[in-house]
Structure 1
């Protein structure tokens, strides 16, 4: 835990957590499910399916950011990613490819959900410190619900803000403020935590929230922001001595 991390959470009354690749290992789940779905569309050597799925996850044409900004619908985003994969690997794209992919992807994705092992400790520490905890994700409500149901977390979070909430997502300042409103907290009382420097830290700070960047891969940044490489560091900072319990307001 760094001094800047401790300062970021001191006196905070709420945590606003990202979902994908912050509390849930979405990268692994999407690649695992994507490989099975790719096999349904393009039967062939198994090693190719993993490469196709990785390309789908990497999304080099930026379909997901376009969806998050409200420019394209969810289904169009997914179809666009699949079409890009087909082009990149010089594969024919059957007319039913998108439907076949999604039908195979859905059950595999639910089955592949994994919570990062450092999440339960953080949630317990936040509860002990009297902090409200909410989720803010650029994913849609339906896949977010799948993740929470698969992990038994549906009842854990009263506030879950997805792109469906306002029609767009991070880094638009309005989604952070909407999350704070639903938490009944002022932006300056809330710490946003996530793996995206742009969406979970810089965007949150621009909206008036505090923020901590989760840099699991140790990429580093020149930005002057609080950084942790493991949620256990944030857990250590959430000692009740750093601020009053939320119900003491």
Structure 2
């Protein structure tokens, strides 16, 4: 379903389907902080370049993560491919045992770096107040997703969590959106998908019959005819308008 306005997208929704990374949690900063620590563990002689290495790992110019999300490569192969690309870009070797050293440095730093984006609690409170079930749909795996939710004390907050482990692939395959809807017990055209990727969270969702809103936090804009918001607080306000007076006046 393609809604033309935010009001229309929210209007008949009976459930919310949220992306995770850079939609409800600041995954980019968490990955860069943890990756900086990991790069320092592997290449201590390249001081001053570790954050740039981590940023390149996050940027993933060879698109290893989409290949993982489509089910073409395993998680370990994806991580190894990204690490090898960083090494090549900075003219360093991947030393023996690098993958273990990377994980030992990365994992605790990643957990401690988790931050909920500030406009998320308001949206979750609005959904809870109106008894709208909320599901998560992420192209990450179950284990790192649980790390994020545990670190933020949100493990029990969501009715459904669908990861790439669920079916063996992720967005934009229409089957993962439909599986999330099935687990929610809601018809696809009554589920509103929100996320920061036009390809995965909007076009893929709409192709599967869901409503969709693009979270364009940076104001990049697009030529695609999609409903866009700069923050989740806009969706919260639309829910308030849909269900009556602002929550503070009740």
**Secondary structure of 1:142's aligned partner:** helix
Q: What are the residue-to-residue correspondences of 1:50-65 with 2, within 5 Å?
A: 50-65=51-66
Q: Tell me, which stretches of 5 or more residues in structure 1 are unaligned?
A: 244-249
How do residues 156-235 of structure 1 correspond to structure 2 at under 5 angstroms?
156-235=157-236
Secondary structure at the counterpart of residue 201 of structure 1: helix
- Structure 1 runs, 4 residues or longer, greater than 2 Å off: 44-47, 239-243
**Structure 1 residue 21: deviation in Å?**
0.3
3-state SS of paired residue (2:16): strand
Superposition deviation, residue 210 in structure 1: 0.2
Q: Residues 32-43 of structure 1: matches in 2 within 5 Å? A: 32-43=33-44
What is the CA–CA distance in structure 2 between the aligned matches of 1:183 and 1:174, rounded to whole Å? 14
Q: Secondary structure at the residue paired with 1:27?
A: helix
Q: Does structure 1 residue 92 correspond to structure 2 residue 102?
A: no
Q: Does 1:103 align with 2:125?
A: no
**Counterpart residue number, 1:16:** 17
Contact 1:138 1:163 in 2 (8 A): yes
Aligned CA-pair RMSD: 1.4
- Counterparts of 1:46 and 1:119, CA distance in 2: 36
CA distance in 2, matches of 1:95, 1:9: 52
Q: 5+ unaligned residues in a row in structure 2: which ranges? A: 245-250
**Contact 1:201 / 1:213 at 8 angstroms: preserved in 2?**
yes
Matched length:
242
Distance 1:132 1:35 in 2: 37
Which residue in 2 is equivalent to 1:247?
none
Deviation per CA, 1:92-127: give whole Å up to 9, x if none.
111211111011100000000000000000001111
Residue 60 of structure 1, CA deviation = 0.3
